[in-house]
Structure 1
Amino acid sequence: MAGFMSASIWLKIALITLLTGTLLYVIGFATVSWMTLWSARQHWAYGLWEQRACHGGSCGTGAVRYRYSEDWQRATQALEVLGLICNLLALLILLLYMFVDQCRRRNALIATIVFIFAAVFFIVVGIAIFAIKLEERGFSVGWSMGIAIVGAIFMFVAGIMSILHSLGR
């Protein structure tokens, strides 16, 4: 805990918001309701990996399948996975920067900042593609995408706090 206690307020906020953003994003990433469509007797929910359809009183969940060849779906999955990887790398480097004396170098802090903003970029572009393509078909943003967006906002704040820490060093 000595690393956390001796860190600047900016870095403490960065770590807390990055952890929170990661948790929220993973929940959104893994759940089904990125986009939803309701009708009188039916409900559809699409996530990055699965879809759920409810007709009458029964619901079924399965792998995402579309009527057409959908390269945008694979592009969205790839962008979101890249965002998650960048985010986890940023979190790992930030933890090493804060708690391992040998890693407390400016290069590690710069790498953290770069990975945070790369993660946010990939996540936002993937969300935009997914939302635009399914809104064209009448779908609305679901709670899973909302949580992923909030997670990305927390990550962005962590990036800003990391920059503020680097300016104060």
Structure 2
Amino acid sequence: MAQRTPGVLVLGLGNRLLGDDAAGPLVVAALAAGAGLPGAVLRDGGTIGLSLLPEIEDAAALVAVDAAELAAAPGSVQVFEGAAMDRQLGGRKRSAHEVALFDLMAAAELSGCLPARRALVAVQPQSCALALAPTPAVAQAIPALCATVRELVARWNR
């Protein structure tokens, strides 16, 4: 097994042209625009692809940030860690990148490189229709998503 990269890979997932689906990349951009995130590598994973597999395999820990169907009010934020993340990804998928993230996690597990510390930080979208900005509910959730990612990274880097 290859040497793991120290720190946490924070992977923002989503399509910036589909309204609330852009939540993941918007969180990564907000974190990068601030003071950054010591102990973490920030990556805009876009709509994801298997090309991200080496980064996930090399990561000591992974935080994926995405819009996901949570059966909650728009803008609601939930965190799924470890096996809970695996169960969430194994459920009903509403976008191509949810399928791709599940496939990436499965491929990393098959190669024996699935990060033991992994989490999905998710926000309930209101609309993933063609739009260049998220709905107000998801836009207002961006600071909470950022704070959640910061807390995970800090806890895991202790």
TM-score scaled by length of structure 1: 0.26
Q: Which has the larger radius of gyration?
A: 1
Task: Give the number of the structure whose residues are more often helix, by fraction.
Answer: 1
TM-score scaled by length of structure 2: 0.27
Task: Give the number of the structure whose residues are more often strand, by fraction.
Answer: 2
